[in-house]
Amino acid sequence: MSIIIQLQEKLHDYGQWREQMIRALDGYKKWLDTYDPGNDQVNESILHTSDNLRNDRLVVAFAAEFSRGKTELINALFFSDTGVRLLPSQPGRTTMCPTEIFYDPQGGSYIRLLPIETRLSDVTLSEHKQRPFGWLQIDLNHNSPVQMQEAFQELAATKKVSYEEAIRLGLYCEDIHATHSTPPEIVEIPCWRHALISFPHHLLKEGLSILDTPGLNALGAEPELTLRMLPSAQAVIFVLAADTGVTKSDLDMWNNHVRGSRHGGKKGLAVAMNKIDSMWDDLHGEEGIEKSIRSQVAETSKILGVDESLIFPVSAKQALLAKVKRDAVLLEKSRLKKIEDYLANTVIRDRQTLLREAVTESIGRLLDESLGHLEIEVFEAEHQLDGMRKLDVKNQDMTRQLMEETREQQTRYLASVDSFQAGRRVFVVQIRLLVEAISPATIDPIVRTTRKQMAASLTTVGMKTVMKKVLEDLHLTMEKAMGLAEETRRLLRAIYGRFETEHGFDDLKPAPFSLRSYQVELERIFLEGEEFRHSASSTLMEQNTVVHKLYGTLIAEARDLFGQAHQEAAGWGASALSPLVRRIKDRKRMIESRLEVLRKVNESSETLDEEIGELERKLAPLQKQYRELKEIQQIIEAPSETATDEPAPIAMAAGS
C-alpha cells in the first residue's frame, strides 16, 4: 500500500541523511588526524556527535484512555504488512503496560517484561533498562507473525492480588474500581510494569521507535512516563474516540500528562479522533457524515486548545482491515492517510531539523575554527611571500632594519605570551572550581541523603518537606555554579580581549557558555512535578506510593541535568582557550620564521629565491586542505531538503 511505502521511504531518506552526516563527521576526523593531530577534545566532540547520530531513534508516542483504539491505530499505521493484528487490541485483550517497540540489532528479536513488583523499589525505569537480568525475556520468531501475535498477548496479562497489595504497589484507585461500602478483598492489576519489544521490522530498522502508553491510570502510576519518556518523544499522538468525544478522563490525561510533554513550545503534538466509523450512517449520507465529523473536530479543537489541522479523524479498525484486504476504497474512507502524511512529512522533517541544529551547534564552531586557522595561515603565507618579493637583497641596511623591527615585535609578543600564561593559570583554577561545584561528587551526597530521608518518611507531607529541602539545596548549588561561570566568562573575555587589542586577533571570540538553560530546566522539572502531584486527586492511584515514585523520578531527572551541565562545563573549560593557544603558537612561529628568512637573506642574497620557492610550495597544500574542509562543511550545513539518497563523496585528506 502507498501509505506504508511513503512512511518507509521518508524514514529511509532520513536514515540516508544521518549516514551522510556521519560520513562527513568521519571525514572531518580523518582530516584532523592528518593535518591537525593531537586535538583530543575536538575528536571527543566528533565521536560523541557521531554516536548520537548512529543511535538516534525517531520516537512516536501514543497516549489514550482505554478503549480508544490506540493499539489498533498503531497496528494500522505500522504493522499491517504482517497480515495480522500484531499487538493485542481486540475488546478485553489490550495492552496493559507501557510498551516500547524498536529494533535492537545487538539483542535481536524479543519481548522483555518488567515485573510489576519492581514498583516497590527505588530503581527508576531508566536504571532498570540498564539491567536486562531483571526482566523476563520471551524470544520472538520474527519470521512468524502468528507466533509473535501469540507472544504479544502477554502484554495484556493481569493477575489478582489482595487489596492491601494493590495499595502497597500504588495500583488501587476508587475512580477505576467498583465502589463498595467496604474495600474489595481482591483487585485485578497488570502483571507487568513495562515492556520492551525488539524485532527487525523494516520501519523499526530505519530508526522508528514506538511508545504505547495505556490509560490514565498507567500514566498516573508511573511519573517517569510523564516527566521523562513523553517529553523525550519526537511526537505524541493523543487518541480520542469519536463515539464518546472528549470525556473527563480524556481531559484529565490531556491536561495532566500529555499537553505538558511539549513544554517550551516543543513541536510534535497531534490528536487522532478514532472510531469515525461509528458515525458512518447511510441515513445521513456522505454529506451528513462529513458535517458531523467537522463538527466533532471543531468541538475537540475548542476543548483541547489544538489547531484543527492537527486533529485527524480516522478509523483505525477499518484502516487495518482495508490494508490487510488491500481494499483501496475502504482505506481512503478510513482517512488514515492524513495522519500518515503528518508522520511521514512533518514529524520526520522536524526531527531532521532538530538533529541538524544539534550537529551544527556542536561541530559547526569547531569547523569554523579549523577553517579560520587555515585562512590565517594562507593569508600570512601570502603576506610573507609578498614582503619577500619586495625585499631588496642589495640593500643590507633595509634587511637589518627589518630584522630589528621583527625582533622588537617578537619581544613585545613574548611579553604578551607571558601575560597569557598567567591568565591561563587563573582560568584553570576557575574552571576547576566551576566543574567541582556541579560534579557528581557534589550532587550525589545530596541525592543519597534525600533518598534516605524519603525512604524513612511515611507520609506525603513528610516527603514534600524532604523535596522542598533538596530543591533549595540544588538551587543554591546551581546559583553558586552560575556565579562561578560568570566570573570565568569575564576572565576569558579579558584574556581574548588583550590579544584582540594588542595583536589584532579580532576574529577570535571565546566560545559561549551559560548555565542559565540548566537553571530554567531545573525549575521546570520541579514545577511540573508539583503540578503532577497536585493532580493526584483524579489521577494518582495511592498517594504515598506514587508520590514517592514521583519524587524519586524528579531527583533522578535533576541528577541527570547536573550531569549534563557538568559534562558541558568540563568540555568548555578544556577547549575554551584552544583557538587562542593555537593562534599564539602560529604567530610565534611566523615571527620566528620571518627572522630566520631575514637572517639567511642577510648572509646570502641567493637564499631569497629559495625561500620564496619554498613558501610558494607551502601554499598549494594549504589551499587543498581548505577546499577539503569546505566540502565537509557544506555537507553538514546543507539545508535538509538537499539531502539525497546517494550521499556525495567526502574528499578525504591526503594519505588518509
Residues in Cβ contact with 43 at an 8 Å cutoff, skipping those fewer than 6 apart: 29, 32
Phi and psi, residue 229, nearest 5°: -75, -45
User: Percent of the chain having pLDDT more than 70?
Assistant: 87
Average pLDDT over residues 480-501: 90
Integer CA distances (angstroms), 621 to 285, 588, 617, in order: 75, 21, 8
The rounded distance, in Å, linking the Cα atoms of 359 and 291 is: 46
Residue 546 and residue 425 share a domain: yes
Residue 131 and residue 235 share a domain: yes
The residues with which 161 forms a beta bridge, in sequence order, are: 187
Strand ranges inside 121-268, DSSP E? 136-139, 158-162, 186-190, 192-198, 208-214, 235-241
**What would the DSSP string read from start to end of 69-103?**
-HHHHHHHHHSGGGSS--S-EETTEE--S-EEEE-
DSSP-assigned letter for residue 108 = B
The rounded distance, in Å, linking the Cα atoms of 596 and 592 is: 6
User: Percent of the chain having pLDDT more than 90?
Assistant: 37
**Cell numbers representing residue 553 in the block:** 523520578
pLDDT class of 650 with cuts at 50, 70, 90: very low
pLDDT class of 644 with cuts at 50, 70, 90: very low
The reply to whether 512 falls in a domain is yes
pLDDT class of 30 with cuts at 50, 70, 90: very high
Average pLDDT over residues 10-25: 91
> Measured in whole angstroms, how far is the alpha carbon of residue 264 from the centre of its chain?
15
CB atoms within 10 A of CB 19: 14
Tell whether the torsion through CA atoms of 94, 96, 101 and 107 is positive or negative: negative
pLDDT of residue 346: 92
Residues 49, 55, 61, CA angle at the centre, nearest 5°? 120
**Cell numbers representing residue 516 in the block:** 542559565
Phi and psi, residue 542, nearest 5°: -145, 125
The mean-pLDDT minimum among 364-368, 402-406, 520-524 falls in 402-406
The mean-pLDDT minimum among 213-222, 254-263, 345-354, 415-424 falls in 213-222
The rounded distance, in Å, linking the Cα atoms of 203 and 286 is: 34
The reply to whether 631 falls in a domain is no
The reply to whether 206 falls in a domain is yes
Average pLDDT over residues 310-339: 94
Tens of pLDDT, residues 91-130:
655 678 899 999 999 999 999 999 999 988 878 888 899 9
Q: Where would I find the H helices in 109-247?
A: 125-129, 145-152, 163-169, 202-205, 215-221, 223-224, 230-232
pLDDT class of 431 with cuts at 50, 70, 90: very high
Average pLDDT over residues 201-221: 84
The rounded distance, in Å, linking the Cα atoms of 325 and 80 is: 10
Residue 399 and residue 292 share a domain: no
Assess whether pLDDT exceeds 50 at residue 652.
no
pLDDT class of 538 with cuts at 50, 70, 90: very low
Highest mean pLDDT among 44-53, 216-225, 445-454, 462-471: 44-53
Residue 399 and residue 316 share a domain: no
Average pLDDT over residues 463-482: 87
Assess whether pLDDT exceeds 70 at residue 428.
yes
Residue 207 and residue 300 share a domain: yes
CB atoms within 10 A of CB 333: 18
Residue 328 and residue 395 share a domain: no
In contact, 211 and 74? CB cutoff 8 Å:
no
Tens of pLDDT, residues 129-168:
998 888 999 999 999 999 999 999 999 899 999 988 888 8
Residue 287 and residue 164 share a domain: yes
Average pLDDT over residues 199-215: 91
The mean-pLDDT minimum among 100-114, 279-293, 538-552 falls in 538-552
CATH value at residue 139: 3.40.50.300
pLDDT class of 651 with cuts at 50, 70, 90: very low
Our count of domains for the chain comes to: 2
How would you label 587-601 residue by residue, b for 16+ Cβ within 10 Å and e otherwise? beebbeebbebbeeb
The mean-pLDDT minimum among 175-189, 471-485, 627-641 falls in 175-189
pLDDT of residue 197: 96
Boundaries of domain holding 96:
57-334
Question: Helix, strand, or coil here: 345?
Answer: helix
Tens of pLDDT, residues 164-181:
888 888 787 665 554 556
Residue 396 and residue 269 share a domain: no
In contact, 63 and 219? CB cutoff 8 Å:
yes
Average pLDDT over residues 549-558: 82
pLDDT of residue 408: 78
Residues in Cβ contact with 637 at an 8 Å cutoff, skipping those fewer than 6 apart: 360, 364
Assess whether pLDDT exceeds 70 at residue 640.
no
Residues in Cβ contact with 161 at an 8 Å cutoff, skipping those fewer than 6 apart: 169, 186, 187, 189
Mean pLDDT of the chain: 83
Residues in Cβ contact with 135 at an 8 Å cutoff, skipping those fewer than 6 apart: 112, 113, 114, 128, 196
Average pLDDT over residues 299-324: 94
Average pLDDT over residues 266-294: 84
The mean-pLDDT minimum among 51-65, 400-414, 474-488 falls in 400-414
222-461-259-335 Cα dihedral, nearest 10 degrees: 40
Query: Which of 182, 183, 166 shows the shortest CA–CA distance to 217?
Result: 166
Assess whether pLDDT exceeds 80 at residue 529.
no
436-437-441-442 Cα dihedral, nearest 10 degrees: 170
pLDDT class of 606 with cuts at 50, 70, 90: low
Residue 244 and residue 135 share a domain: yes
Which of 334, 357, 374 is the last residue in one of the domains?
334
The reply to whether 226 falls in a domain is yes
Residue 285 and residue 406 share a domain: no
The reply to whether 47 falls in a domain is no
Which of 603, 618, 650 is the last residue in one of the domains?
603
The rounded distance, in Å, linking the Cα atoms of 349 and 50 is: 20
Taken as a whole, the chain contains a residue count of 656
The reply to whether 358 falls in a domain is no
pLDDT of residue 394: 61
Query: How many Cα atoms within 13 Å fall on the side-chain side of residue 118?
Result: 21
The reply to whether 641 falls in a domain is no
Assess whether pLDDT exceeds 70 at residue 492.
yes
* 575 exposure class (CB count in 10 Å sphere: 0-12, 13-18, 19+): buried
Which of 575, 603, 631 is the last residue in one of the domains?
603
The reply to whether 546 falls in a domain is yes
The rounded distance, in Å, linking the Cα atoms of 91 and 72 is: 11
pLDDT of residue 464: 75
Residue 559 and residue 440 share a domain: yes
Strand ranges inside 28-76, DSSP E? 58-64
Straight-line distance from the first to the last Cα atom of the chain, in angstroms, rounded to the nearest whole number:
45
Residue 250 and residue 137 share a domain: yes
Residues 179, 180, 185, CA angle at the centre, nearest 5°? 105
